[in-house]
Amino acid sequence: MSKFLSDLLPGEKGVVKKVVGNSMIKRRIVDMGVVAGTVIEVQKFAPLGDPMEIKLKGFNLSLRKNEAEMIELEIA
Residue 53's domain comprises 2-74
What is residue 1's predicted lDDT score, i.e. its pLDDT? 87
- pLDDT surpasses 90 at 22: no
CATH number at residue 27: 2.30.30.90
Q: Dump pLDDT digits (tens) for 41-75.
A: 999 999 998 899 999 999 999 999 999 999 999 99
CA 50 vs. chain centroid, Å, equals 13
**Number of domains into which the chain is organized:** 1
Residue 28: pLDDT band by 50, 70, 90 thresholds?
A: very high
Provide, rounded to the nearest whole percent, the portion of the chain with pLDDT above 90. Answer: 89
> pLDDT (tens digit, 9 = 90+) per residue, 8-18?
999 999 999 99
Residue 7: CA count within 13 A, CB half-sphere:
11
